[in-house]
Structure 1
Amino acid sequence: MTTTETETTTPDADDAEFRELCEQLVRTAPSPFHRAAVQALVEERTILEVTAVRYALIVDTDHGPTARFEGLSGRQYTLGLDEGQRSFLGLVLSMVGIGLTTIAAVRDLDERRLPIILRAFLRLAGNDTIAVGTRM
């Protein structure tokens, strides 16, 4: 196998492994609040791709990897995240009752992250009738 073949096959394997991990984290979420928070992180993706975040967030249990948000408490500034990622993570943590991030943090979110967090808020509220998308 050449180097080029290795480079083209490895990302697919890594991507499949990442998707499997994300599905497991959603499946093992202990409450609707945690599930909404995990789904937001999965949709955002770049935060979960940071090794330090996964190390602080994910614990192995008898049922497989599970997200334990308590591991991220107070560590947002030591994880190597940019400002937008930290704001997003702060809002996600507030969904599970951790941290003191105010709703005003949405001002730091870009056009990709804002709809993700809005959908997460709707999931948290148990509302599946309001659509989040571009206004006409």
Structure 2
Amino acid sequence: MTGTEAEPAVPETPDPEAEYQQLSKELLRNTRIRRHRAAVQALVEERTLLSLPAVQRALIVDSRKGRAAQLSALSGAQYALGLDEGQRTFLGLVLSMVGIGTATLASVEDLDDRRLPIILRAILRLAGNDTIAVGTRL
């Protein structure tokens, strides 16, 4: 290439992390009801579910204020999303926080060490408690 030729513009590849952070902020900003907000925050923290295109298609709707979470849409699609058992259990517990589905609290025994603290924090948010910490017992 000579100095007079312009190099073709290379489109910037979107940063998946930046896109996820933007989506998370929008969903949380557009969720007003406390129990729905606790559920959306749990999905944001868990990350693997909210990163799946099938979950995004079922969950996210466009509103006047941006993207919003429609949790009721996930209930009917729960078994058609291609989730593994751990993801399905976690999603069932999250949906039960907003009164959707029939997940029992006993299903927490099926959660792994990463998802259990997320659910525990979500339950505390649901209760409006910000004084109890969730962490490793010594």
Structure-1-length-normalised TM-score: 0.90
SS at match of 1:86: helix
Residue in structure 2 matching 1:55, options 54, 57, 63: 57
Q: In the alignment, what sits opposite 1:99? A: 101
CA contact (8 A) 1:106 1:114 kept: yes
Tell me how far apart the structure 2 counterparts of residues 26 and 94 of structure 1 sit (CA, whole Å). 18
Which ranges of 4 or more aligned residues in structure 1 deviate by more than 4 Å? Answer: none
Select 2:111's aligned residue among 109, 112, 116: 109
Q: Within 5 Å, which residues of 2 pair with 1:1-136? A: 10=13, 13-136=15-138
Deviations 1:41-96 (A, max 9, x none): 00000000111100000000101000001111132111011100000000000011
Amino acid at match of 1:117: I
Write the distance in 2 (CA, Å) between the matches of 1:131 and 1:52: 33
Taking the aligned partners of 1:107 and 1:86, their CA distance within structure 2 comes to 13
Question: What SS does structure 2 have at the residue aligned with 1:60?
Answer: strand
Deviation (angstroms), 1:17: 1.0
Q: What's the secondary structure of 2:76's corresponding residue?
A: coil
Structure 2: gaps spanning 5 or more residues: 1-6
For residues 76 and 70 of structure 1, the distance between their equivalents in structure 2, rounded to whole angstroms, comes to 10
**2:19 & 2:133 partners in 1: Cα distance?**
30
Identity of aligned residues (%): 64
Contact 1:24–1:64 under 8 Å retained in 2: yes
Contact 1:74 1:99 in 2 (8 A): no
In the superposition, the TM-score normalised over structure 2's length comes to: 0.89
Give the residue type in structure 2 aligned to 1:120: A
Larger radius of gyration: 2
Counterpart of 2:107 in structure 1: which amino acid?
A
Matching residue of 2:3: none
